[in-house]
A = this chain, B = another copy of it.
Amino acid sequence: MSEKKVTIKDVAREAGVSIATVSRYLNNSYSSMSEETKIRIQDVIQRLNYHPNIMAQALKGQSRTIAVVVVNMSYPFCVSVIRSISEVLDEAGYSLLVCETGENAEKELTLIRSLVARGVDGIILQTNGQNNDLLQELAETMPIVLVDRHFDITGVKNVITNNEEASYQLTEALFKEGYRRIFFISEELNGLSTRTQRYAGYQQACAKRGVEPAVCWMERRKTDTCQAVLNLLKQESGEQPFAVYTANGLLMMELYPLLQGLSLRVPEQMGVATFDEPDWANITQPRMTCVRQPTHEIGQLAANTVLERLRGDIKPHLQPSVQMIPSVLVLAPATERTAK
Interface residues of A (CB under 8 A from B): 1-2, 51-56, 58-59, 63, 65, 72-74, 79-80, 82-83, 86, 90, 95-100, 113-115, 117-119, 137, 253, 256-257, 260-261, 278-280, 282-285, 340
Q: Is the CB of B117 within 8 A of A51?
A: yes
Cβ 8 A contact of A97, one of B52, B79, B96, B284: B96
The distance from the CB of A182 to the nearest CB of chain B, in whole angstroms, is 21
Report the separation of the CA atoms of residues A51 and B115 in the bound assembly, to the nearest whole angstrom: 11
Q: Across the interface, which residues of B come within 8 angstroms of A113, CB to CB? A: 51
Report the separation of the CA atoms of residues A118 and B51 in the bound assembly, to the nearest whole angstrom: 10
The distance from the CB of A99 to the nearest CB of chain B, in whole angstroms, is 7
Q: Is the CB of A95 within 8 A of B97?
A: yes
With contacts A253-B279, A253-B283 taken as known, whether A74 is within 8 angstroms of B63 at the C-beta atoms is no
Q: Is the CB of B86 within 8 A of A80?
A: no
With contacts A280-B253, A283-B280, A283-B283 taken as known, whether A53 is within 8 angstroms of B97 at the C-beta atoms is no
Q: Is the CB of B119 within 8 A of A54?
A: yes
Cβ 8 A contact of A98, one of B72, B82, B253, B278: B82
Q: List 7 A-B contacts (CB under 8 A).
A: A53-B117, A55-B58, A73-B83, A82-B98, A83-B100, A86-B98, A97-B97
Cβ 8 A contact of A99, one of B58, B74, B95, B137: B95
Q: Across the interface, which residues of B come within 8 angstroms of A98, CB to CB? A: 82, 86, 96-98
Chain B, residue nearest A102 (CB): B87
Q: Across the interface, which residues of B come within 8 angstroms of A65, CB to CB? A: 97, 118
Report the separation of the CA atoms of residues A79 and B86 in the bound assembly, to the nearest whole angstrom: 14
Chain B, residue nearest A254 (CB): B282
Cβ 8 A contact of A2, one of B56, B137, B278: B137
Q: Across the interface, which residues of B come within 8 angstroms of A99, CB to CB? A: 86, 90, 95-96
Q: Across the interface, which residues of B come within 8 angstroms of A51, CB to CB? A: 113-114, 117
Report the separation of the CA atoms of residues A253 and B284 in the bound assembly, to the nearest whole angstrom: 11
The distance from the CB of A328 to the nearest CB of chain B, in whole angstroms, is 19
Q: Across the interface, which residues of B come within 8 angstroms of A282, CB to CB? A: 253, 256-257
The distance from the CB of A83 to the nearest CB of chain B, in whole angstroms, is 5
With contacts A58-B55, A79-B73, A83-B74 taken as known, whether A118 is within 8 angstroms of B95 at the C-beta atoms is yes
Q: Across the interface, which residues of B come within 8 angstroms of A72, CB to CB? A: 83
Known: A65-B118, A83-B100, A253-B280. 5 other contacts (CB 8 A): A55-B58, A95-B99, A97-B98, A257-B282, A280-B283
Report the separation of the CA atoms of residues A253 and B278 in the bound assembly, to the nearest whole angstrom: 12
Q: Is the CB of B73 within 8 A of A118?
A: no
The distance from the CB of A260 to the nearest CB of chain B, in whole angstroms, is 6
* Residue of A95, A99, A253, A256 most packed against chain B (CB within 10 A): A95
Report the separation of the CA atoms of residues A80 and B72 in the bound assembly, to the nearest whole angstrom: 11
Q: Across the interface, which residues of B come within 8 angstroms of A340, CB to CB? A: 261
Report the separation of the CA atoms of residues A149 and B54 in the bound assembly, to the nearest whole angstrom: 30
Chain B, residue nearest A87 (CB): B100
Chain B, residue nearest A110 (CB): B90
Chain B, residue nearest A96 (CB): B98
Report the separation of the CA atoms of residues A81 and B56 in the bound assembly, to the nearest whole angstrom: 31
Report the separation of the CA atoms of residues A83 and B82 in the bound assembly, to the nearest whole angstrom: 13
